[in-house]
Amino acid sequence: MKSIAIVDYGMGNLRSVAQALRHVAPDADVAITQSGMRIDNADRVVLPGQGAMPECMSYLRASGLLPAVLRAARDKPLLGVCIGEQMLSDFSDEGDTEGLGLIPGRCVRFAPQQDEPSRKIPHMGWNNVRQAKSADGRSHALWQGIADDTWFYFVHSYYVKTASNHDIAGVTDYGGSFTSAIARANIFATQFHPEKSANAGLKLYRNFVAWNP
C-alpha cells in the first residue's frame, strides 16, 4: 500500500487535497499529518499552501515540520500546490520572505497594467496551461493523459520566476505569460489548484500517485 503524507503546518486546503487523492488512489494510505516521522515514512509527500507566503513559511518553521519536508525533497516524489509551489523557491517579494531554496527562483507579484484592464489581481478563476516540452518534444510525466492547454483553477497574486527555463513545466497567459508549473528531479509543483480543477486536476493527482521519478 502506498502512503501519501499531506503536510499539515496550519496553512492549506488540506481536506480538499486529501479527498482528491483518496478518490484517485482508494487503496493508498492518505494522511493529513503534523508528524515529521509520518512524513519520513511516507512514499510520497504533498506540500499545500493557502494564504500569504510569510505566514506559510513562518508556520512551517514553527510546526517543526521543515526538516522533514527538506528530507522528503531529497528523494521522495513531492508535489507542491499553490503557495506550496512558491515556497519551493529561494525568495518571495511577498513580505521579503526566504523560501525553501529547492528550485532556484524568486516569487514576484503580477504588475498592474493600465493597458490591460481585464488583468485583475489576484488572478482568480480558470485559465489554460501550456505544457513545457523537453528537447525531445516530451512533456513532464505528470501531464500524461492531460491535453496541452487544458484549463485549471487559479487563485493567486504572486508566481515563481525560475532561475532556469529547465525547471519550467507549464506556462499560462495572463496579460503576459507566467510560470504555472515547475519541476526538478523528484519535485513537481503547480500554481493552480488541481483539487479544484475537475477531471484534469484529478488526473494530475492520479499521475502523481503513480509517478516514479
Per-residue pLDDT of the chain (213 residues), as tens digits, is 899 999 999 988 899 999 999 999 999 999 999 999 999 999 999 999 989 999 999 999 999 999 999 999 999 999 999 999 999 999 999 999 999 999 999 999 998 765 566 678 999 999 999 999 988 889 999 999 999 999 999 999 999 999 999 999 999 999 889 999 999 999 999 999 999 999 999 999 999 999 999
82 catalytic? Reply is: yes
Contact 195, 17 (CB under 8 A): yes
Of the residues 23, 55, 82, 98, only one is catalytic, namely 82
195 catalytic? Reply is: yes
Taking the model in full, what pTM does it have? 0.96
Amino acid identity, position 121: I
116 catalytic? Reply is: no
Of the residues 123, 140, 156, 193, only one is catalytic, namely 193
Task: Cell numbers for 150, please give them.
Answer: 487544458
Fold of 3-210: Rossmann fold (3.40.50)
